[in-house]
Amino acid sequence: MKKVPSQDYSKKGIINKADVIKVIWRQQKGMANLIDGKKISQEIKDELKAEVAELTRQGKTASLAVIQVGADPASSVYVRNKKNACAYIGIGSESYELPEETSEEELLALIAELNHKEEVRGILVQLPLPAHINEEKVILAIDPAKDVDGFHPQSAGALMIGSQGFLPCTPAGVIQLLKRSDIEIEGKNCVVLGRSNIVGKPMAMLMLRENATVTVAHSRTKDLKELCRQADILIVAIGKPKFITEEYIKEGAAVIDVGIHRLEGKKLCGDVDFEAVEPHVSAITPVPGGVGPMTIAMLMNNCVETMR
């Protein structure tokens, strides 16, 4: 039987004996380490809960205003999860559920009102918005000091130059997944597949902060398979279900799957073909249960940052 070296599994978000046994069994079978975003996000929320309790004793408070336009079922689930997370860590939340036909002017007026409410420390507008509302205008309207999503250009600029500011939640969550799973970043080759303003671009900047050598790939990238096969860490955020197969993978790489899709039959999957890729990697995030929970955990961290 393959001997597995002793490790502190608590650092990997693995907190009970049964989970340790599962990890050792997977290692003995030569299987990838499953990066459990649910456990790691819970660990972060527990840390934040304790911090909020202490900050509250010091007389500091925070409240998150969440705005949803329309009744998209997926958006409603995300909003509910964010409110539940606020309640769990001990900060307030206010929900503004606006009808689909709400005008851009009405939405901007509400944001202006919330910008001036001292008790509201964070403002979040659930995306996507209806087609008649300009998302860029809405993001620009939010006070950068309350931009807990980290989408405002001022937040993006702070990230670029390495100064203080709110970090976009999903990329920040990926960094925590890697660090808390003891996956070395410094000096590693990282390919970020996707160049969106919400995930791809900020993800590349955060990996640079951690001293990785970073390449950003996209739909016009030539020899994509060959490029991806150079990656020690492959982060995929392209919005195409099961696009990444074993042909894109370097043996022993760590793979972070940011995508989430609902296929026919309501089965969820990511941008990575998990079953095809898993035998070839050292670590991989599942979908669901990988990156998704971390996004909310890091949103909570940004909310608590307004209290610190």
Q: Are 58 and 49 in contact (CB under 8 A)?
A: no
Nearest in space to 266 (alpha carbons), one of 288, 294, 246: 288
Query: Is 260 annotated for ligand binding?
Result: yes
Please tell me which residue in 45, 68, 147, 149 is annotated as part of the active site. Answer: 149
Query: Is 194 annotated for ligand binding?
Result: yes
Verify whether residue 19 is a known catalytic residue.
Answer: no
Query: Is 196 annotated for ligand binding?
Result: yes
Query: Is 195 annotated for ligand binding?
Result: yes
112 contact partners, CB below 8 Å, separation of at least 6: 141
Verify whether residue 36 is a known catalytic residue.
Answer: no
In what helix (H) or strand (E) does residue 235 lie, and over which residues does it extend? Answer: strand 233-236
Verify whether residue 29 is a known catalytic residue.
Answer: no
Please tell me which residue in 39, 45, 82, 146 is annotated as part of the active site. Answer: 82
12 vs 43, 120, 237, CA distance in Å?
A: 10, 34, 23
Please tell me which residue in 126, 188, 250, 271 is annotated as part of the active site. Answer: 126
Nearest in space to 303 (alpha carbons), one of 55, 50, 62, 43: 62
Which H, E and C letters describe 29-47, residue by residue? CCCCEECCHHHHHHHHHHH
Q: Are 169 and 41 in contact (CB under 8 A)?
A: no
Residues marked as catalytic: 82, 126, 149
Annotated binding-site residues for NADP(+) read 194-196, 260
Annotated binding-site residues read 194-196, 260
